Amino acid sequence: MAATGFFTDTTVCIGCKACEVACKQWNQLPADGNFFSGRSYDNTVHLEATSWRHVAFVEREKKLSGQISGTRPFSWLFMSDVCKHCRRAGCLEACPTGAIVRNEFESVYVQPDVCNGCGYCVVACPFGVINRRDDDGRAWKCTLCYDRQKEGIEPACAKACPTDSILFGEVESLKEHARKRLSELHARGVTEAYLYGMTADDQPGTEGLNAFFLLVDRPEVYNLPPSPGVPTKTTGISWASMALAAAGMTVAALAAARAGGKR
Ligand code: SF4
Ligand code: SF4
């Protein structure tokens, strides 16, 4: 079965948060409470075990290339963040119970009945996506609406988005669409636009994302890491270095013992 995913084009997002609400509603996720963060109009702040879509509101004292609206340098950036369903997923590789699997749509899926709440996945996600719920201690995150996909319908967030900022589909056709959209923006003078995490070449640390983004500023501006890496990618190198160090110490100890014996 072909891999499915999301292409989130942040340049058409209007920050309505319909995607957040639709996700909460469909997945019956509990409310996070009403509070004022004091940071812009965003009261969800980040992805959580109970918030599987989060729309970041970024206020910049800078205009977009070609922007004619506004009397002073200012622009809003909105970006609907989600689990990236990484091609190489830190959460999946770190899970000791096999609770996290890659399903038939190549999405990274947590089986709640197998999760024992150890939290290894939480520290292994380079994006800070997956988390444990306070009420049951287990790890939760976006399922890419597995239940809806099984019925042949698109995920709730993509369905609810009024501007098609969130597009759902087969990853390969999403990539084609994303490339076209990028060229269109570049032709219109929005030269700062780029694709984040679309391929393994763009993001070797994760080998590419099944949920990738079109951005117009540095990743950090959207609270995304500039070069995320799955921690287990370097495990082989660490073991090789330790083996080398151990071999070196053995050789040194043998040489010292031999030198001591000759005296
Ligand atoms: S973004 Fe994090 S939680 Fe989502 S698949 Fe990648 S490593 Fe796992
Ligand atoms: S529903 Fe679409 S336009 Fe509204 S906040 Fe989400 S991504 Fe943006």
List CB contacts of 87: < 8 A, sequence separation 6 or more.
200, 206, 207, 208, 209, 210
Instruction: Give residue ranges with CB within 6 A of ligand 1.
Output: 83-86, 89-91, 108, 125, 127, 129-130, 141
% pLDDT > 70, the chain: 94
Mean pLDDT, rounded, for 20-42: 88
131 lines ligand 2 (CB under 6 A): no
Mean pLDDT calculated for residue range 221-249: 78
Residue to mutate, 88, 103, 121, 129, ligand 1, most ligand atoms under 8 Å from C-beta: 129
Q: Taking a C-beta distance cutoff of 8 angstroms, is the pair 47, 32 a contact? A: no
Tell me how many degrees the CA angle 194-81-150 measures, rounded to the nearest 5: 110
Atom of ligand 2 nearest to the CA of 164: 2
- What value does the mean pLDDT take over residues 120-132? 98
Is the Cβ atom of 16 under 6 angstroms away from ligand 2?
yes
- Greater confidence (259 vs 111) lies with 111
pLDDT of residue 238: 59
For residue 128, the ligand closest to its alpha carbon is: 1
Residue 242: what pLDDT?
Answer: 66
Banded model confidence at residue 260, pLDDT cuts 50, 70, 90: confident
CA of 105 to the centre of ligand 1 (A): 15
Whole-number Å distance between alpha carbons of 260 and 190? 72
Residues 151-179: what's their mean pLDDT? 98
The DSSP code for 21 is H
**Structure confidence at residue 234 as a pLDDT band (50, 70, 90):** low
Q: Retrieve residue 10's tokens.
A: 């942040």
Provide the pairing of β-strand 211-215 with 108-110: unpaired
Query: Which residue, by CA, sits nearest to atom 1 of ligand 2?
Result: 161
Bridge partners, residue 100, by sequence? 110
Spatial distance between the Cα atoms of 87 and 199, rounded to a whole number of angstroms: 9
Q: Indicate if ligand 2 lies below 6 Å from the C-beta of 15.
A: yes
**Residue 201: its pLDDT value, please?**
97
Question: Which residue has tokens 């040194």?
Answer: 252
3-state secondary structure of 186: helix
